[in-house]
Chains A and B, each alone.
Chain A
């Protein structure tokens, strides 16, 4: 304030005011939040169907553990990831248990942000940590210890409507190529009846559209970076894959593809609005669940389509981890154990039906007769997909980073999000594939340069 202040007299006034303000603020802080108190566990979770089932069953846990209250923050993938990452990275401590994936787990464990779960696993009788599918377990480990426990695991595969294929006189090969899929999509595309040829994700987000897209890139022989961290987004293979993906979804994909993610695609397919759907293997559970699907029992499942490689697909696991700053560590572990236990699988199967069991992480799940019966159409393809999801099988060229459908470096959250926005723009027809890739290449070069320098 450019006012000629009476300095001498001004100071005490300001001091009094400041202290009043301070009192006000600290008084506020002391009061805390409404409803806090007792042992309340705050759990940040991704709002996918299997997680919602867990939330619905969580009163069982509270009954078994009196004095522990559960509060869920359940958000769609992108929003959940933003909140969880911000909180964990700043050690904000809002959450006692967070749901993360095999992308974050090794990085965050190395940063010292996560509690080592191995001691808890080893101390929990009957939990049987060795029951987890080995590839999943390894992807969640850092220096031989697990830092997250898998809730479900997945690869990717293709669902198709057997009834529509039969009507059209088509047969799905056991290991289809992308070219065959594109031909099928063209034949089955039925605009009049509102049935799209194929459902593919187009929603921005590295965990959304980039997951299926990057598997297509991989099998077409493309890669994000070569071994010297040169960005490869404008290479002929990457360009060919991008053109293929964008054209396929633009010509024969679902309505609103540029904003359709896993949930949206599931909705469309479950409502009978698509003849095929290439996505996470967990989709089968919702497709075959009468409560959410109109196409129960009508689908067949085959391995992820390929082009130049023998296999394709991704490896992903939604898992539970505990931030280091968590206050109620034992209670948090009790909950994590409850949600990833064999008994939870039983509970879901009995309460909601065997199709809704969280798949792809415990080998014992596949030995349950009821599950084997309910999941006969997709259990084996799921296991095969997860087993085949290794870099050397699904990629044509070697890469300097971990991960298949993602680039396992911290910068990928930002890079992936921005590239996926470009991809969505191309899918929506706002720009050409070449323009989108050109811009993406610039982003990727900046990231690659940082790694070339530090090498």
Chain B
């Protein structure tokens, strides 16, 4: 990167300042950060500002000349739309349930893996594989070979003729998402389990603490950072789930498995209502930011980011 040489040396730099002692002016030290920062701002923030602009327009893409300023009308319409509220609820349910269940499963699998046994490497390889499969592939496979009412494996195992995707659409989608994300959780938690100090565990055993007590009072607290990290990262990705819904149910039947990303997509690319879909996008961003502020605060506390700055 040539950017580091870009800051022209100036007289003031030679003056002994507290930061100067540690090498260069603040700007020179910030310079390596800037390309990444500017790139991310340009690519993620500018389109979003345009979205905000569109959200005040009434604009149907397939009706040319329909674009005009309508103030907050789109926002009013969106809040009055019962489907939007339904999609919001589905998003919350999908995210919370998937994160929670996949973490529970991940914890279980990690505990099973956290000991020496024959073929441990193979088992671990098997378990991480669903995370490495394309989500698109996973979704289509579950839709067809697993959930199909006639030839699907699930009905073969459980009997009956359940049409999983139309009778339990959200649960079916969640099953696939959980299956996809459990390996991720397992790996993270496993890393946490292996990072805990063996001495403490042994000491606990010497003191006569049972397995359950050791797990509850020693392992879990040590794991909590890993669990929080797992929950946060999982939530960031699962809240944006689109592939599974697009490929498995198309949000249906009706709107039973529509989440916000899919609903916005649908209003934008099937309904071509640019104004309303932009307003929804803005609302989602605002809501996410509110939630994320709490999440970020949690994360900064957890990982003590300021530790690096001092």
Chain B CB within 8 A of A199 CB = no
Q: Are B252 and A82 in contact (CB under 8 A)?
A: no
Q: Which residue of A lies closest to B4 (CB)?
A: A13
How many contacts A-B (CB < 8 Å)?
Answer: 139
Q: Are A425 and B253 in contact (CB under 8 A)?
A: yes
Residues in B with CB closer than 8 Å to A425 are 252-256
Q: Are A417 and B256 in contact (CB under 8 A)?
A: no
* B270 CB → nearest A CB, Å: 5
Mark the stretch among A254-262, A326-334, A389-397 that contacts chain B: A254-262
Interface positions of A from 115 to 161, Cβ below 8 Å from B = none
Residues in A with CB closer than 8 Å to B82 are 439
Chain A CB within 8 A of B222 CB = no
Residues in B with CB closer than 8 Å to A177 are none
Q: Are A418 and B271 in contact (CB under 8 A)?
A: yes
Residues in A with CB closer than 8 Å to B254 are 204, 258, 421-426, 428, 430-431, 436
Chain A CB within 8 A of B249 CB = yes
Residues in B with CB closer than 8 Å to A81 are 270
* Contact A13:B62 (CB < 8 A) given known A204-B252, A417-B271: no
Residues in A with CB closer than 8 Å to B272 are 85-86, 89, 410, 413-414
1/0 per residue B250-272: CB within 8 Å of A? 11111110000000001101111
From A6, A18, A111, A273, B64 is in contact (CB under 8 Å) with A111
Chain A CB within 8 A of B114 CB = no
With A and B bound together, what is the CA distance between A439 and B197 in angstroms?
59
* Contact A413:B271 (CB < 8 A) given known A255-B150, A421-B255, A428-B167: yes
Q: Are A12 and B6 in contact (CB under 8 A)?
A: yes
Q: How many residues of A contact B (CB 8 A)?
A: 52
With A and B bound together, what is the CA distance between A90 and B67 in angstroms?
13
Q: Which residue of A lies closest to B161 (CB)?
A: A255
Which secondary structure dominates where chain A touches chain B?
helix
1/0 per residue B152-180: CB within 8 Å of A? 00000000010101110100000000000
Residues in A with CB closer than 8 Å to B169 are 428
Q: Are B271 and A10 in contact (CB under 8 A)?
A: no
Residues in A with CB closer than 8 Å to B27 are 5-6, 9-10, 13
With A and B bound together, what is the CA distance between A441 and B7 in angstroms?
64
* A210 CB → nearest B CB, Å: 13
With A and B bound together, what is the CA distance between A146 and B163 in angstroms?
44
1/0 per residue A73-96: CB within 8 Å of B? 000001001110110011000000
Q: Are B60 and A411 in contact (CB under 8 A)?
A: yes
1/0 per residue A324-361: CB within 8 Å of B? 00000000000000000000000000000000000000
Chain B CB within 8 A of A170 CB = no
Residues in B with CB closer than 8 Å to A418 are 83, 271
Q: Are A258 and B39 in contact (CB under 8 A)?
A: no
* Contact A258:B252 (CB < 8 A) given known A21-B42, A107-B62, A428-B166: yes
Mark the stretch among B30-38, B98-106, B207-215, B293-301 that contacts chain A: B30-38
* A270 CB → nearest B CB, Å: 13
* Contact A258:B35 (CB < 8 A) given known A6-B27, A20-B2, A414-B273: no
Chain A CB within 8 A of B141 CB = no
Of B39, B61, B252, most buried by chain A (CB within 10 Å of CB) is B252
Interface positions of A from 358 to 411, Cβ below 8 Å from B = 410-411
* A273 CB → nearest B CB, Å: 8
Chain B CB within 8 A of A17 CB = yes
Residues in A with CB closer than 8 Å to B3 are 13, 16-17, 20
Q: Are B83 and A411 in contact (CB under 8 A)?
A: no
Chain B CB within 8 A of A67 CB = no
Q: Are B252 and A421 in contact (CB under 8 A)?
A: yes
Of B31, B38, B254, most buried by chain A (CB within 10 Å of CB) is B254
Q: How many residues of B contact A (CB 8 A)?
A: 46
* A217 CB → nearest B CB, Å: 18
* Contact A14:B34 (CB < 8 A) given known A6-B27, A204-B253, A425-B256: yes
Interface positions of A from 408 to 453, Cβ below 8 Å from B = 410-411, 413-414, 417-418, 421-431, 436, 439
Chain A CB within 8 A of B8 CB = yes
Q: Which residue of A lies closest to B30 (CB)?
A: A3
With A and B bound together, what is the CA distance between A105 and B215 in angstroms?
67
Q: Are B61 and A21 in contact (CB under 8 A)?
A: no
With A and B bound together, what is the CA distance between A417 and B252 in angstroms?
11
With A and B bound together, what is the CA distance between A13 and B9 in angstroms?
12
Chain A CB within 8 A of B63 CB = yes
Chain B CB within 8 A of A173 CB = no
With A and B bound together, what is the CA distance between A257 and B270 in angstroms?
22
Q: Are B266 and A417 in contact (CB under 8 A)?
A: yes
Q: Are B62 and A6 in contact (CB under 8 A)?
A: no
Q: Are B150 and A194 in contact (CB under 8 A)?
A: yes
* A142 CB → nearest B CB, Å: 15
With A and B bound together, what is the CA distance between A342 and B273 in angstroms?
40
Q: Are A421 and B251 in contact (CB under 8 A)?
A: yes
Chain A CB within 8 A of B306 CB = no
Residues in B with CB closer than 8 Å to A85 are 61-62, 272
Q: Are A414 and B271 in contact (CB under 8 A)?
A: yes
Interface positions of B from 1 to 47, Cβ below 8 Å from A = 2-3, 6-8, 10, 25-27, 31, 34-35, 37-39, 42
From A9, A83, A89, A259, B7 is in contact (CB under 8 Å) with A9
Interface positions of A from 269 to 299, Cβ below 8 Å from B = 273
Chain A CB within 8 A of B149 CB = yes
With A and B bound together, what is the CA distance between A14 and B31 in angstroms?
9
Of B60, B63, B163, B270, most buried by chain A (CB within 10 Å of CB) is B270
Closest 3 CB pairs of A and B: A425-B254, A414-B271, A428-B253
Q: Can you list 24 A-B pairs with a CB-CB distance of less than 8 A?
A: A1-B37, A6-B25, A12-B8, A13-B6, A18-B38, A20-B3, A83-B269, A85-B61, A89-B61, A107-B62, A204-B253, A256-B163, A259-B250, A259-B253, A414-B272, A417-B266, A421-B83, A421-B255, A424-B252, A424-B253, A425-B253, A428-B252, A429-B167, A439-B82
Contact surface of B with A, Cβ cutoff 8 Å: 2-3, 6-8, 10, 25-27, 31, 34-35, 37-39, 42, 60-64, 82-83, 149-150, 161, 163, 165-167, 169, 249-256, 266-267, 269-273
